[in-house]
Structure 1
């Protein structure tokens, strides 16, 4: 559940909570595959009737996944977040929403909404199953060899499984995002939370393989090809997702630790009317590498490296104005010395190509300059 950079390709079925409902073409393939699996489970012969039952079960499964994603969208909208898309994919679905200035509460509640929705659906499906007066009707309605009672029962169990699986506390499951938000809230560091959830995701990926292969052994038989394929398939989805999240957390955590102060080059400020010699002397006295030239109103209007004054003949420095060495600085090209991480990225996006430096400001005072090239290198 992240901010979507571009529209997802697929069939657009409408909108809900302002979000496009998109079904990727691969989802249709998965529907057919699931229909075949459900139709032939237990060694049942594949016929038009059994395939129809299998297709109904597959569609109901994807409806449950869709409602799971709608719950994510509803939770995001409750926090006044724009929801971009709800996408049904080959392996399930995802919801993209505006994740700027995210907080642990927004992330945790939005993530938890999906599994909670499946728990609610499972509960609703169990109501007619537990209602004795309805049971005869449910058992009398027959499609092929399957009663409506069994279909409703399957919906209840399917949603319970979806809820439990998605609640597992590791990335990429929703429970992983809940764990991330909890650790984030406790430590104050989102990337610590992301690392914890990513490692938990790796543990769960290994655990799925152990369980998938262990259950047959505990049942007194050797794991067959289906057990092995199922375990490897789930592992192939979970492990790379968790590992990628871990890499992102490590990279972004490093980025978050960088501040403008770390990149600041010492500078001295001088009024625009002084000479090169005076500016040079001020820089030497302050031990500054850069000189920031102030306009009449005291705002930074230009800058130059102190070493650039070497290009002016020594005999001429006392009479040469700063216009001969000053590079213009756009009004507003400044950054707070404590700014870091996302603030630096946003500033780079705003100022890249418009200036080569910012003036670094601390409590309203210019304390140096930050070269945009240095900031770009530090954030890569």
Structure 2
């Protein structure tokens, strides 16, 4: 559930709550597969049985859709624009404006989906108790009840990418005031859930003295293949963002000494030695940073020629404006660098109009790895 600028590809079915409803072709494949599974019996698959299976599969997909609509309703309750409600092979997702997200919004919107399935199960069960329909209709409606309870339970599992994982993320985020920490906890929980599904599918039959069926093992592997990569990706992103928020211009800069472009390498070497600087920033005529010269490269200039070699002949150019405040930190720092990435390898750090250091791209990359 995140902000999306480009629409998801699929079959469009109008709009709900201002959101574009999209059904991906893979959903239709799942519909047919579910119909076959639900209609399978010892007597094989009959036309009537397949029709019933198709109806039950469609009811399940409608339940998933209502689950996603509940997410959209919750997002709109917090005055968030909802962009898309998408049905996919494995369920669905709802994208909404996630700018300035808070733990409360994240938790409530995530909880709304499983809550909707519980409500659906309760309403249908109450209707069944009141009317007591028998036969095929009664059996189908009871199936809807149990299917929605299963959807609610599965989505409430406390690990990313499930809704319960996002709720756990919101709880840890609210308690620690650190969203990345919440994501990391929920992502690890998602990995535990993924392993738990496989252990449950294989271990429970063994405890009962039987052998796991191929069907249950295949489903366990499929669910593991859905949960583990999603949890791992969330963990990777959160870990990277944690590093991002821990770095800044002041923490990564190396000391630099500003020197006019007309100075010689000999003069630069002396000034850098006095300041203990690792870099020389060469100033243009208007005293704006125009280039840099790593002190380590001074040895590349023969000592006999340093007094006659001007910096402008050995300077590595810096584009005009490639300078930053030492107070840039976290995401603002990274966002600033992204505007310049590929255009320069070094940025001057300027405080009160004076160059105090440089930030090097190689140091930024090292800090983020």
Counterpart for residue 358 of structure 1: 347
1:276 to 263, 266, 270: 263
- 2:167 equivalent to 1:178: yes
What is the distance in 1 between the residues matched to 2:312 and 2:20? 57
Closer, same or farther: CA 190–361 of 1 in aligned 2, 3 Å: farther
Q: Tell me the secondary structure at the aligned position of residue 200 of structure 1.
A: helix
Q: How large is the RMSD of aligned CA atoms in angstroms?
A: 3.7
Contact 2:282 2:315 in 1 (8 A): no
What is the distance in 1 between the residues matched to 2:145 and 2:345? 61
Counterpart for residue 305 of structure 1: 293
Could you tell me how far 1:160 is from its partner in structure 2? Answer: 1.5
2:200 to 190, 194, 211: 211
Q: Tell me the secondary structure at the aligned position of residue 182 of structure 1.
A: helix
| Unaligned segments of structure 2, at least 5 residues | none
Closer, same or farther: CA 83–248 of 1 in aligned 2, 3 Å: same
- 2:35 equivalent to 1:23: no
- 2:259 equivalent to 1:260: no
Could you tell me how far 1:61 is from its partner in structure 2? Answer: 0.8
Number of corresponding residues: 362
Counterpart for residue 181 of structure 2: 192
Q: Tell me the secondary structure at the aligned position of residue 113 of structure 2.
A: helix
Stretch of structure 1 that moved more, 67-76 or 322-331: 322-331
Counterpart for residue 142 of structure 1: none
Contact 1:337 1:361 in 2 (8 A): no
- 2:57 equivalent to 1:58: yes
Could you tell me how far 1:325 is from its partner in structure 2? Answer: 5.5
- 2:117 equivalent to 1:118: yes
Counterpart for residue 240 of structure 1: 229
Could you tell me how far 1:221 is from its partner in structure 2? Answer: 4.7
| Unaligned segments of structure 1, at least 5 residues | 140-144
What is the distance in 2 between the residues matched to 1:4 and 1:74? 18
Counterpart for residue 293 of structure 1: 283
CA deviations 1:133-181 (Å, max 9, x no partner) are xx15x44xxxxx511x333322222111111111110122111122122
What is the distance in 2 between the residues matched to 1:171 and 1:9? 24
Contact 2:244 2:334 in 1 (8 A): no
What is the distance in 1 between the residues matched to 2:29 and 2:121? 26
Q: Tell me the secondary structure at the aligned position of residue 370 of structure 1.
A: strand
Counterpart for residue 69 of structure 2: 70
Could you tell me how far 1:59 is from its partner in structure 2? Answer: 0.9
Alignment of 1:334-345 (within 5 A): 334-340=324-330, 342-345=331-334
What is the distance in 1 between the residues matched to 2:283 and 2:327? 19
Contact 1:13 1:22 in 2 (8 A): yes
Taking structure 1 as the reference length, the TM-score comes to 0.78
Contact 2:156 2:163 in 1 (8 A): yes
Could you tell me how far 1:111 is from its partner in structure 2? Answer: 1.9
Closer, same or farther: CA 70–295 of 1 in aligned 2, 3 Å: farther
What is the distance in 2 between the residues matched to 1:295 and 1:183? 54
Stretch of structure 1 that moved more, 232-241 or 287-296: 287-296
Stretch of structure 1 that moved more, 23-32 or 3-12: 3-12
Could you tell me how far 1:283 is from its partner in structure 2? Answer: 4.2
Contact 1:31 1:58 in 2 (8 A): yes
What is the distance in 2 between the residues matched to 1:216 and 1:321? 77
What is the distance in 2 between the residues matched to 1:360 and 1:225? 62
What is the distance in 2 between the residues matched to 1:199 and 1:27? 29
Contact 1:330 1:354 in 2 (8 A): no
What is the distance in 2 between the residues matched to 1:80 and 1:260? 36
Taking structure 2 as the reference length, the TM-score comes to 0.80
Could you tell me how far 1:361 is from its partner in structure 2? Answer: 5.0
Could you tell me how far 1:65 is from its partner in structure 2? Answer: 0.9
Could you tell me how far 1:23 is from its partner in structure 2? Answer: 1.3
Closer, same or farther: CA 283–215 of 1 in aligned 2, 3 Å: closer
Could you tell me how far 1:49 is from its partner in structure 2? Answer: 2.7
Closer, same or farther: CA 370–315 of 1 in aligned 2, 3 Å: closer
